[in-house]
Amino acid sequence: MLKAKWTRLLATFLATVIICQWLLPAAVANAKISSKFSPQVVVEKFTDGENLQRSHFLKQYAQQRVPSKKMLTYPPSRKSNQVDNYHGTVVADPYRWLENPDSAETRSWIEAQNQVTSAYLDQVPAKEKIRQRLTKLWNYERYSIPFKEGKSFGDNSTERYFYFKNDGLQNQSVLYTLKTLDSEPKVLLDPNKLSEDGTVALSGLSISNNGQLLAYSLSTSGSDWQEWKVRDIETGKDLPDHLKWIKFSDVSWTNDNQGFFYSRYDEPNNKTKLEDTNYYQKLYYHRLGTPQSEDILIYQRPDQKEWGFNGGVTEDGKYLIISIWLGTDSKNLVFYKDLTNPKSAVVELINKFEADYSFIERDDSVFYFRTNFNAPRGRVVAIDIEKPAKKNWQEIISQSAETLEGVSILNNQFIADYLKDARSQVKIFDLKGALVREIELPGIGSVDGFYGKRYDTETFYSFTSFTTPGTIYRYDMVTGKSEVFRQPKVDFNPENYETKQVFYQSKDGTKVPMFITHKKGIKLDGNNPTYLYGYGGFNASMTPSFSVSLLVWMEMGGIHAMPNIRGGGEYGEEWHEAGMKFKKQNVFDDFIAAAEWLIANGYTKSAKLAIAGGSNGGLLVGACMTQRPDLFGAALAAVGVMDMLRFHKFTIGWAWTSEYGSPDNPEEFKALYAYSPLHNIKPGTAYPATLITTADHDDRVVPAHSFKFAAAMQAAQAGDAPVLIRIETKAGHGAGKPTTKTIDELTDKWAFLVRTLDIKV
């Protein structure tokens, strides 16, 4: 395996935390998601004139109370005369000024909107009860999957284990290390000590081959920008190395432990770095003890501004595998460089964006890849770099009915992670592709892990389901036995809940699976409050996972439903492509059909049905509520992509054109304009109760999407249902959000549904 695997492990752990906390599937952090992407601390500084303007703007809201929905008054949102011509179609954009998150006018608007939202939610008598229950349930120990690094030399061994642990209510999880599994753990890095409010987060790590050095990255206030540092593991002290302007990059050490490879962008404009587009990523080598300005440029493509590079060193240290990505498309290129020859050139092994290729391991000149080339659900192939033509490729593990998510090598065997109807299935094969065994799992759920080196016989994995907190297992590759290593204790009885998987028909007849979880014994009388959550994009597979947030929802009598709609990766690349670009409407149709199925089968009714999603899932919510405002009682859109005509003009948004299409293309513009949530709001329409959530400096999906959507919705709303926006400060797209902020947001979310869906608590 490549040596960047621990960064991916951290990404998986952090994504799992995010999913468990507030069900935002980080389309861009989870190792099982193909997307490479899915803020700085804001210090408010106003001039005297700006203070006066803000004071006048906020005066009427400072003491506002909201006794009823009908009396709800929104802050004014100025309309400009901004219009744009898209291929002959004139489109108004009256709230363009909200694209500047730091202007005095926008800051005043944010503060006023938050005051109105807080006043509304403070009227919910059950709000404090919800907060207390969330806090109590949250307060349990959580562990990541342990991993091992270093060299074993008897008494002089540098081998050690690493894992993350959260005591319960810590804002950030702490990184520990220990020599043996039964020895006393030592704190290696505690992010909670890096900021008073927990908004500085550990966002990446990589351990040197000798187990003595830790390269780690920090992100501030949820920003995608990372700063990398190096720590001596034995002393706990940082070395002078400090690298900046890094995004969407792993770090991979060379075998001599003297440095590592990473990718970065040129230094941005400091004032606009959270909005400006990111182009021309470059691959570098950093040698310890030298300034970043002396880092060696390994590879760049001045002729390809959208190409990104991820360099990983093979386990034996002999090759650098360079994966080249283009936007969020799962198709990539693969180049390599011989590290045994300092003068070696970068060799183009796969030089067409036609499929996904994930490097697994090598035997001499034979490289193993997991790919979906001519196999949309995935297979394993062997490519001899001395005879790289496709006609010479050998198929090792053929495509099956299940979707092959990932492959690693342990005990000199392939461990293959499959999805069978969106639930995990793990199989072991020998190096010739013969099935050795299927690993028996505890039930229907999701598995992650099986990390390690090629000849390791010990590994670890986690298992979780909607009613099973993430449990860590130790697996013996020789005997095939699993034993519980860490099992969290949460204050609930899983026997009181049940999960079922149903299949329903979408608008065009496609069969779509959906998980439904709730308390046992509910009556199918159509009166159950129901939370329908979806994503549907970027090849992201939505699989069962435990969530304290959903547990509180179900304790209040709620039902949780999660359909595996098209656009995801549950059934391979064909399922993904059926929800891309011109076929994006399939995603919305699948979600709407899920809602109609729940109503038709007595689970709920429109007045009791809430839809929710984050990021691309926020787009899903925005599109569905504007297409079928009659179908839902409430809508919760988190950090959503709402303006489909300007998404590509900010930060990494250009990369999503491979998924959505580009407004600059006349035909793709028509498709985007047809469903763009912002542009399909119709004045005089009774929309469902809406809570939009974002962060003032999200530099993944910039907050302007949510700001403009909220302003337009408030102006258009004809019914009594509220349209509110909750704007978090000192936060970004979701990754690294402190526990305190997460509990605050979840409390507000459930309080909003308790009030708008009339739930008795």
Q: Hey, which bits of 506-608 come out as E strands? A: 511-519, 530-533, 559-563
End-to-end CA distance of the chain: 50
Active-site residue flag, 615: yes
Out of 518, 648, 705, 733, the active site residue is 733
Cα–Cα distance measured from residue 122 to residue 117, given in angstroms and rounded to the nearest whole number:
9
Tokens of 120: 């509304």
Cα–Cα distance measured from residue 312 to residue 283, given in angstroms and rounded to the nearest whole number:
11
CA-based nearest residue to 106, from 699, 728, 696: 696
CA dihedral 291, 292, 297, 303 (to 10 degrees): -150
CA-based nearest residue to 689, from 742, 749, 756: 756
Is residue 22 within 8 Å of residue 454, measured between CB atoms? no
Helices (H) and strands (E) in the chain, counts: 12, 39
Tokens of 571: 């059934």
Length of the chain, in residues: 761
For residue 196, with 0-12 CB atoms within 10 Å meaning exposed, 13-18 middle and 19 or more buried, which class applies? exposed
Tokens of 58: 């906020």
Tokens of 543: 């699989």
Element (H, E) at 250: none
Residue linked to tokens 């947030």: 549
* Contacts for 723 with CB less than 8 Å, ≥ 6 apart: 74, 687, 689, 690, 692, 710, 713, 714, 717
Q: Hey, which bits of 552-652 come out as E strands? A: 559-563, 609-614, 634-638
Tokens of 313: 């060193």
Cα–Cα distance measured from residue 451 to residue 161, given in angstroms and rounded to the nearest whole number:
12
Cα–Cα distance measured from residue 53 to residue 73, given in angstroms and rounded to the nearest whole number:
20
CA 450 → CA 210, 219, 412, 477, distances in Å?
21, 27, 13, 10
Is residue 703 within 8 Å of residue 643, measured between CB atoms? no
Q: How far is CA 443 from the centre of its chain?
A: 25
Cα–Cα distance measured from residue 22 to residue 744, given in angstroms and rounded to the nearest whole number:
11
Phi/psi at 51 (5° precision):
-65, -40
3-class DSSP state for residue 468? Answer: strand
Active-site residue flag, 733: yes
Is residue 332 within 8 Å of residue 322, measured between CB atoms? no
Reading phi first (left if > 0) and then psi (alpha if -120 to 50, else beta), residue 211 is in left
The secondary structure of residue 146, as a DSSP letter, is P
Out of 35, 615, 658, 676, the active site residue is 615
Query: 10 Å Cβ neighbour count for 17?
Result: 25
For residue 581, with 0-12 CB atoms within 10 Å meaning exposed, 13-18 middle and 19 or more buried, which class applies? middle
Cα–Cα distance measured from residue 326 to residue 335, given in angstroms and rounded to the nearest whole number:
14
Residues labelled catalytic:
615, 733
